[in-house]
Amino acid sequence: MISLNINGQAHQVEVDPETPLLWVLREWVGLTGTKYGCGIAQCGACSVHIDGAVMRSCSIPVGSIADSKITTIEGISADNSHPVQVAWLAHEVPQCGYCQSGQIMAAVALLAEKPKPTDADIDEAMTNICRCGTYGRIRTAIHTAAAAGKA
C-alpha cells in the first residue's frame, strides 16, 4: 500500500511501486485531467506538480514520491478561476485541447518561480509540445496571467 498526498487529500493505493504516477492518477484515483501523450516524458501532456516543481508523471514511479505533495490540474482551482486558466480561456489557447492541462501546469510552475517572466523565460520553461501550434497564444496567456498576479 502506498500513501499519496494528491491535491491536498490522502490516497491509499495498492500498486507496484514502479507503476508510473500517471496511471495511478488516472486509473486508481480517478483524476483524468492529466493526459497520456507519449509515455517517454517528452511531450508534457502528463505534467503535474510534485512538491511545487513541474514534472512529467508518465515516467515517475509512484513508489519514489510517496512523501511528496502532488498537484494535478484538478488541484489548481476547483472552479477554473486560477489566473492561468482564466487567461487560457480569454485568449482561446486550446485548439484540440489535449495538451492543455500539461501546458497549464507548466505555466503555473513558471509563474510561481518567475511572476513576471520574459518571452525568453517562457520559451525556456514551456517545453511541452502542442501539435496544434498555439504557442503564440500560450505566451500571450502567460503574460496576461502574470499581469493579473496571484498566479
68-104 pLDDT per residue, tens: 999 999 999 989 999 999 999 999 999 888 999 999 9
Q: Where are the domains of the chain?
A: 2-73, 83-148
**The domain defined by 2-73 carries CATH number 3.40.50.2300:** no
The CATH number given to 83-148 is 1.10.150.120
pLDDT > 70 fraction of the chain, expressed in percent and rounded: 99
Q: Which residues of the chain have pLDDT under 70?
A: 150-151
The grid coordinates of residue 52 equal: 511545487
- pTM attached to this predicted model: 0.94
Q: In degrees to the nearest 10, what's the CA dihedral of 39, 42, 43, 44?
A: 90
Q: Which helix (H) or strand (E) holds 120?
A: helix 119-125
| pLDDT for the residue numbered 78 | 87
The angle at the Cα of 130, spanning 85 to 112, to the nearest 5 degrees, equals 40
Nearest to 148 by CA among 68, 79, 66, 91: 91
pLDDT at 97: 87
Helices 83-90 and 135-148 pack at an angle, to 10 degrees, of: 130
